Amino acid sequence: MPETHFSCMWIEQSDAGDVSRIIHQIMPAQLPDGEVLVRVDYSSLNYKDALAASGHPGVVQAFPHVPGIDAAGEVVASDSVRFSPGQAVFLTGYELGAQRWGGWSRYVRVPADWLLPLPQELTLQEAMIYGTAGLTAALSVDALRRQEIVPSAGEVLVTGATGGVGSLAVLLLAGLGYQVVASTGKPAMHDVLRSWGASQVVPREELAGPQKRPLLGERWAGVIDTVGGATLGSVLKATRRNGCVAACGLVGGVNWEASVYPFILRGITLAGIDSAWCPTARRQQMWSQLAQEWRPALLAEVARLTTLDALPGQIDQMLAGQLTGRWVVALADPAEST
């Protein structure tokens, strides 16, 4: 049990409503209740974290708040027989970094049910390269496979392809042999997307079809949509008969104009993806796939390391849609003696 203060990213709101992000020192006694205390070596930056770090009321319910929906590290103290001090563990989602203080902190205290032992094939850092984004990408790929969208079915579209979920979805699909079409708003990233395994790259604006038409020409066997809003409405209209669209994101909006035609004339499935409350058995199955059969050779290529000090700049870039790939947050203080 740490006897001294440790660092975390602290989100405060002033009486005037201004939100500030500071590196703050807190004591273990200030952490929320829970069965397992974990010393966090790595967390990551997800879109939901960027919202939390901006005090978004859809994520943050009380101030001060500590963001970080992912965490990986070592058990320090445990009231659960399932976890012992020294064990390498990780967790993504549930209430972490939302209703409960999260992983942008050297320590977290959490319910044992939220933790998973680190698979032996992964390092703590690799678990956080995947993080929530990896679980979401895996659940989305799995949703397509459950609808029998196999690699020979045709082109599979990934929207927001340079983002965290998008980049991992491209890697996973390409590794499984799918013909991946990546949609991006970043012209400078076309070659990089091809190097990650996309067979074709389409500019974001090309996806917006004529808004009035209930159906567009059939193109996509499957879609992993991290954008939502009008993009989701548009890709549903262009999905082939018996295709599947896995909807997991909202960076482009939450509402779209819908009709029943893609569903009743083309038998399309709209699969909703929720990684935060993914049941344990499915979560374990997905992590086993990510650690073994589905593990992309280029996993490290999409990731970069950052620190609490540098994060505010990256948060602003992410909210502006400018960040690419996965950002892993290193929590260990170089000055620590332990």
Ligand X SMILES: NC(=O)c1ccc[n+]([C@@H]2O[C@H](COP(=O)([O-])OP(=O)(O)OC[C@H]3O[C@@H](n4cnc5c(N)ncnc54)[C@H](OP(=O)(O)O)[C@@H]3O)[C@@H](O)[C@H]2O)c1
Write out the residues near ligand X by the rule CB under 6 A. Answer: 46-48, 132-133, 136, 160-166, 184-186, 204, 226-227, 248-252, 273-276, 318, 321, 323
- Comparing CB distances to ligand X, the nearer of 78 and 275 is 275
Q: Where are the extended beta strands (E) located within 189-315?
A: 200-203, 220-225, 239-247, 269-272, 303-307
User: How near is the Cβ of 198 to ligand X at its closest, in Å?
Assistant: 11
The stretches of the chain forming alpha helices (DSSP H) are: 47-52, 124-146, 164-175, 190-196, 229-237, 261-264, 280-291, 311-319
Question: Among all residues, whose Cβ is closest to ligand X?
Answer: 163
- Comparing CB distances to ligand X, the nearer of 37 and 318 is 318
- Comparing CB distances to ligand X, the nearer of 254 and 260 is 254
CB 244 within 8 A of CB 154: no
User: How near is the Cβ of 37 to ligand X at its closest, in Å?
Assistant: 26
- Comparing CB distances to ligand X, the nearer of 31 and 250 is 250
Q: Which of 102, 115, 124, 116 is nearest to 31 (CA)?
A: 102
User: How near is the Cβ of 282 to ligand X at its closest, in Å?
Assistant: 12
User: How near is the Cβ of 6 to ligand X at its closest, in Å?
Assistant: 26
- Comparing CB distances to ligand X, the nearer of 162 and 239 is 162
User: How near is the Cβ of 232 to ligand X at its closest, in Å?
Assistant: 11
Give residue 102's identity as a one-letter amino acid code: G
User: How near is the Cβ of 23 to ligand X at its closest, in Å?
Assistant: 22
Helices 124-146, 164-175: inter-axial angle, 10-degree rounding: 70
- Comparing CB distances to ligand X, the nearer of 2 and 209 is 209
Q: Is 306 exposed, middle or buried (0-12, 13-18, 19+ CB in 10 A)?
A: middle
> What are the Cα distances from residue 323, in Å, to 142, 185, 253?
26, 11, 18
- Comparing CB distances to ligand X, the nearer of 36 and 45 is 45
For 121-139, b/e burial (b = at least 16 CB within 10 A) is ebebbbbbbbbbbbbbbbb
CB 99 within 8 A of CB 57: no
User: How near is the Cβ of 181 to ligand X at its closest, in Å?
Assistant: 12
Strand partners, 305: 328
Cis bond leading into 64, ω under 30°? yes
User: How near is the Cβ of 152 to ligand X at its closest, in Å?
Assistant: 26
User: How near is the Cβ of 229 to ligand X at its closest, in Å?
Assistant: 7
CB atoms within 10 A of CB 21: 19
- Comparing CB distances to ligand X, the nearer of 93 and 262 is 93
Strand partners, 220: 239
CB 75 within 8 A of CB 84: yes
- Comparing CB distances to ligand X, the nearer of 40 and 138 is 138
